[in-house]
Amino acid sequence: MNDKQMFLLFNHKLTDSQKQDAVNNLNVIKFIYLPDNLQAMWSQVPAELNTDELETFLQPIKNWLIENHSKDDIALIQGDFGATYKIVKFCNSLNIKAVHSTNQRVAKEIHDGNKVHVSHTFEHVRFRKF
């Protein structure tokens, strides 16, 4: 398997366990976040866009992927469902392997008299191909 770069189209920073998984299991050598202007777009896809408008809205992100990818790179894609679907299909057309992160939710309860405090922690398990 060749060394790859991973494009990060999601709304968070990678955790250490996600980085380690990508390096160890996907042979990723470079992580590429969206430029700030495209990250702002990806993080706030307007809900009122129809399908054609969404295609137009996503075009700058598609152009960025076209300009920066190599065959068999990987894209971690998570976000607005419609935008995610369209970008996954687009990545497939460029031979970019589209993945998402799977997580395990761990709940912790602390009892304090008549109060119960619950916190949830999400722990990365693996990347799964779309």
4-9 vs 74-77, strand pairing mode: parallel
pTM of the entire structure? 0.86
CA 89 – CA 68 distance, rounded (Å):
17
pLDDT at residue 36 in the model:
97
E strand residue ranges, the chain: 4-9, 28-33, 74-77, 97-112, 115-129
Containing structural domain, residue 64: 4-129
CATH number, position 122? 3.40.50
Query: Residue 71 gets which letter from DSSP?
Result: T
Query: What is the pLDDT averaged over residues 93-120?
Result: 91
130, two tokens: 């779309």
Q: Indicate the number of domains in the chain.
A: 1
Structure confidence by residue, pLDDT tens digits, 6-55: 999 999 899 999 999 999 999 999 999 999 999 999 999 999 999 999 99
For residue 96, the tally of other CB atoms under 10 A from its CB is 24
66: part of which helix (H) or strand (E)?
helix 51-68
